[in-house]
Amino acid sequence: ALVLSELSVLLAGAAFAPLNPQDPAARLQGLWQDLGANVVILRASQSNLVALAKESGLRPVEAESLFGDSAPAAPLDWAAVEVPADALCHIIYTSGSTGRPKGVLMEHRGLVNYALQKAALHGITAESRVLVASASTFDPSLGDFFSTLVTGATLCLDSRAAVTQQLEDCLRNSGATHVLTTPALWSMVELAPQQLPQLWVVALGGEAMPPAVVRTWGQAPGVQ
């Protein structure tokens, strides 16, 4: 529902901001106010957030009502909205570890360039299977989402808990050919490269690279 929600917002000519539903209520309310948001898309099971959104003056929309089996069929003749390249596309918030979270405003052309360049540099094609290992609140997840969509590749999604605690299983079960994550998370993978023969591209960043990871994966045949 997350990917469909973000894509739908963009097709409507609006902008989105992915937030962590596990954040404290006060933080969410502060971010909603900072955004000037008027709609929040939630799961029906998040009843506490539905009530919080209403209390904050937002209109909560249940994702199941948009994309579930009971959702009404959309007309096929809808007109695409023309959006200027420099129009606001999405907002990503900093962690706020050094103070108040700051929203980083991104334009449509930025996301387009990001998706196309990532697809080209990582060799993502229609035959690729991209495992999303980044949290939805960080922009690498958007690179994974949209580079996959623009190339017709397969997007492999799993729960955040599964990715952070059972990354090896996620890689094997999804048959992922591409993954982008941090060196710290990748260090949890104890499988040898030959045990993941389908894996072609491992992109790591955001922090210092442990020498052991370089030794193990830097020389692995068939892996970039």
Encode pLDDT of 43-81 as tens digits: 888 888 989 999 999 999 988 888 777 677 767 677 778
Q: What is the pLDDT of residues 197-212, one digit of tens each?
A: 999 999 999 899 888 8
- Where do the structural domains in the chain lie, given as residue ranges? 1-82, 107-224
Query: Is 43 in contact with 65 (CB distance < 8 Å)?
Result: no
d(CA 55, CA 49): 10
CA-based end-to-end distance of the chain: 31
Confidence (pTM): 0.89
Third-level CATH fold of 107-224: Rossmann fold (3.40.50)
DSSP 134: S
DSSP 158: -
Query: Is 180 in contact with 203 (CB distance < 8 Å)?
Result: yes
Of 205, 149, 145, the closest CA to residue 180 belongs to: 205
Helix (H) or strand (E) holding 15: none
d(CA 150, CA 145): 9
Of 176, 167, 120, 164, the closest CA to residue 138 belongs to: 164
Mean of the pLDDT values across residues 190-194? 87
Q: What confidence score (pLDDT) does residue 192 get?
A: 85
